[in-house]
Amino acid sequence: MKGGSLKGKKVLVTAGPTQESIDPIRYITNHSSGRMGYAIAEAAQKRGAEVVLVSGPVNLAQPAGVHVIDTVSTEEMFTAVKSHMDADLGIFTAAVSDFTPITRMEGKMKKQKDQEIVSIDLKKTPDILQYAGEHSTGMYVVGFAAETENVEEYAEDKLERKNADCIVMNDVSDTSIGMNSPDNEVVMLFREGAPMPFEKMDKRALGEQIIDALIQRWLG
């Protein structure tokens, strides 16, 4: 098999968007398809790892041999991650919502006559990657940085702030890559060692390359 093996290793992956409920029929979400995380989970499983995939709401088939935990909100994703902090490698690809409504309305939010502007109060969600970075007892922590500007600068900052071992950065201002597209083009930044750039490619192929790069850098 090309690349090293992950036999005996437990790998935790988060993928997809989250949905934050406003009322029983409305929610806040984003354009994440979950493809990158699913491809990474599948690649890790192929390399022999026990894989737990904590997924937001996506339209993708469950990868064979992978333990999928379906979640909806950031809070649910966070709870699932906290119960798998014993993983050896954590890859946090999910496009987690940064904010959630302070309260979820019991009934449908009604349109009020003559009300042109409506506001919904939001609060910050828990930062799952940061939690993993700060509470890791041996987990090699990998985050993603999807930015539209100053990508490299933000990625370096994320590596430090979130206590991660690696950040996979991509520029989502280019709509032919990232978020909801089949392809991605990334650069991996490591706490130890030189950055690794990858050519633009299909997310499944890239999932394999990211796993192989992690095996090389993490397990040496």
Quote the distance between the C-alpha of residue 81 and its chain's center: 12
Q: Which residues are annotated as a binding site?
A: 98, 108, 126-129, 144, 158, 162
Instruction: Assess 89 for contact with ligand C5P (CB under 6 A).
Output: no
Instruction: Assess 13 for contact with ligand C5P (CB under 6 A).
Output: no
Give me the residue label for tokens 């890791």.
136
Question: Containing H/E element for 8?
Answer: none
Instruction: Assess 90 for contact with ligand C5P (CB under 6 A).
Output: no
Radius of gyration (Cα) for the chain, nearest Å?
Answer: 18
Residue 216's CB: how many other CB atoms inside 10 A?
13
Distance CA 107, CA 23 (A): 6
Point out which span in 51-59, 106-114, 123-131, 203-211 binds ligand C5P (CB under 6 A).
Answer: 123-131
Among residues 94 and 215, whose Cβ is nearest to ligand C5P? 94
Distance CA 5, CA 46 (A): 9
Among residues 43 and 172, whose Cβ is nearest to ligand C5P? 172
Strand partners, 21: 27
Point out which span in 42-50, 52-60, 93-101, 172-180 binds ligand C5P (CB under 6 A).
Answer: 93-101
180 given a catalytic annotation: no
Give me the residues that bind ligand C5P (CB under 6 A), please.
Answer: 14, 74, 92-94, 96, 98, 125-129, 143-145, 158
